Structure 1
């Protein structure tokens, strides 16, 4: 039972506004990002991310701990609350490249999350029992995830 099996759940693309910067002079502390929108698409669900979502990032030495809360609306009108925590190692050198409009090589940093879901819609009740993993990628204009269900 040592093998971990997954299947794709959806791809997620988030648009974020500029951060509220609550960091200390040494660079540690917190950023708060307003997630202004986004989309998700997979074989079993698709839709949009509503602009009442956000990311509370705790910056530590060498990595950041992310704490994201999203309200998603499926194409058929169901509301899904998605939360995830995770780690990324996107550092100052990566942020400088993004500020210059450069793309980052996803192999140059670690960006993983552990999503959970809540919904009252019976069509998507199965999501209430899903544990997932997200593989993140940061671009100059958005945050992208490949979200996989753990089987």
Structure 2
């Protein structure tokens, strides 16, 4: 079977672009070696959210609780909030994986600028929005691609249709 081939009757999902976010990050706070890998906390300080379906700002009330597993994969588990342009607060929990060839990840860990196409960074954001204008966020699945820089992060979010 060809990888792109779908069984008869299968519905191929689509993607609808929602927003692009750029976040400023604080210095990593190491927790240290744990049973499942090396853990650290990355504070999310502020940022912007701009897109056709959602715009606003990242509030400085969140963090990414990461674990770097022995197999070289970093597991992201970030909880943070967006305040929309019309002052609605939306909670996000964004979980996913980042990994790549060891030399690429070493460069990224040293704070060098690395082309996001050279490593895998995918997450699944889950939104908690109040009833009303943004309630659609509670009823869909989303995918995110990302790029990590020394003191910032860049995220692109799509809704699965």
Please report the TM-score for the alignment, with normalisation by the length of structure 1: 0.89
Alignment deviations for residues 23-74 of structure 1 (CA, whole Å, 9 cap, x no partner): 229xx32010110011111112100011011100011021111101111100
Q: Which runs of no fewer than 5 residues in structure 2 stay unpaired?
A: 1-9
Asked if the contact 2:74/2:97 (under 8 Å) is kept, the reply is yes
Query: Structure 1 pair 145/99, CA: closer, same or farther in 2 (3 Å)?
Result: same
| Equivalent position of 1:78 in the other structure | 88
Corresponding residue of 1:53: 62
* TM norm structure 2: 0.84
After TM superposition, the structure 1 stretch with the greater mean CA deviation from structure 2, 134-143 or 82-91, is 82-91
Flag structure 1 segments of 5+ consecutive residues without an equivalent.
Answer: none
The structural deviation recorded for 1:141 is 3.1
Which protein shows a greater Rg? 2
- Residue 99 of structure 1 and its aligned partner are, at CA, apart by 6.5
Matched, 1:3 2:12: yes
Residue-by-residue CA offset, 1:62-110 (whole Å, 9 max, x unaligned): 1111101111100110010011110001677446535665310112211
CA RMSD after TM alignment:
2.2
Equivalent residues, number? 150
